[in-house]
Structure 1
Amino acid sequence: MDWEAFFAVHSDLPREGPGQAEDVAWVGGLIGISPQGHVCDAGCGPGGDLAALRQLVPQGRIDGFETVPHFVEAARRKFPGEPSVRITAESMERLRGPYDLIWSAGAVYFLGVARALNAWRGALTDQGAVAFSHPCLFTDAPSKAALAFWESEPGDIGTEATTRAEIAAVGWRVLAARPLSDAAWTAYYEPMLARCAALEAAEVSDSVAAAIAA
């Protein structure tokens, strides 16, 4: 991958995956987390969910884990000088905790569901929970275009049923699940499309043009 071209497209974006503050609030209400809770944002990217997580635990602490230096820097700019929000440039497999909530918006895909859950088992409090979003097919007969898209991607996806089975196979149970809303996807794609349009207007290099097309 041409990382310079990638970051030409992905610089200064509010988030690197679909989601919105309402998703965080829904999870917080579901598990009844304390305002003094300890939360981890695993694979936090540029920190798109940090503000919503901060609202969830206003007297608590948030640890973000991210390995991409550009995103680490962006996330750290979200709450400068705030000791209760700490961003660590380290793999999200190495969480220490203990956390009341491990939140991960889209990043589990890069590890795999079973691998992530096995890595995080010892990083939760006794009543702690994991909340993550993960791509899956909501039909048993996906279109050829959908299958072709995911065949070109590095990770594996299944259906909602196979994802639930994978979770159960490593000893976890699902408290609740729901599809991400259209608004969550808009929050991801709209800023990226605006960024791409601005770059195209500036007559970018072939490598950046290829990154935009991807």
Structure 2
Amino acid sequence: MTTRRAGLREQKKQATREALRTAALRLALERGPDNVRVDDIAEAAGVSPRTYNNYFSSREQAIVAAVTGEREARVAAAVAGRPAGVGLADAVIEAIVDQYTAPGEPGRDALLLITTRPMLRDAFVETTGAIEHPLTDAIAERLGDADPHTARVLAASVAAAVRVALEQWLQTTAASATAGGLVVLSGSLPDLLRGALAPLAPALDAAEERARRQAS
């Protein structure tokens, strides 16, 4: 019964988070983010402002969360789910590219909102930090390495590389936004991600080779 209750609590928390981030993005698109208060988002989601603060520290964080969803968990799951025959470097790079460039991620209206508001751009880029811990676990599992520092350093480096790629992409895309509200996607995000992650491939390969030698 305890496990079931815990599962129900987690489902309720997830539903509340989803309601908050959905309300935040809807209100921001309708009114403009500067005209949306935390109280407005909480009311639209049917919770109290105090409950809101248990999930998000700002309206920007909630708005961006509607775009990113649970991407950090999806990245880690994608790495863990790659076949054993796929090298760690390829597994990580492909998982990042797949999850950051999935169809509808982000939608054009949401992209315009994020790219034309510096605070939203910053909040969007900051979400890259969230992938570090779940990715650490996924890398450690693939390495089977008793040393947790290797996986953590590699995951932190991946998060930093993704941040660099997103910053470049958002800056160039923001510069292309026209007065008429159109967004011209500038540069290929998959190419930017692959380019930023490429210098990490030798380190990922070396860690995998070291783990293979230790296991033999």
Give the TM-score normalised by structure 1: 0.25
Q: Which has the higher contact order (CA 8 A, sep 6+)?
A: 1
Higher strand residue share: 1
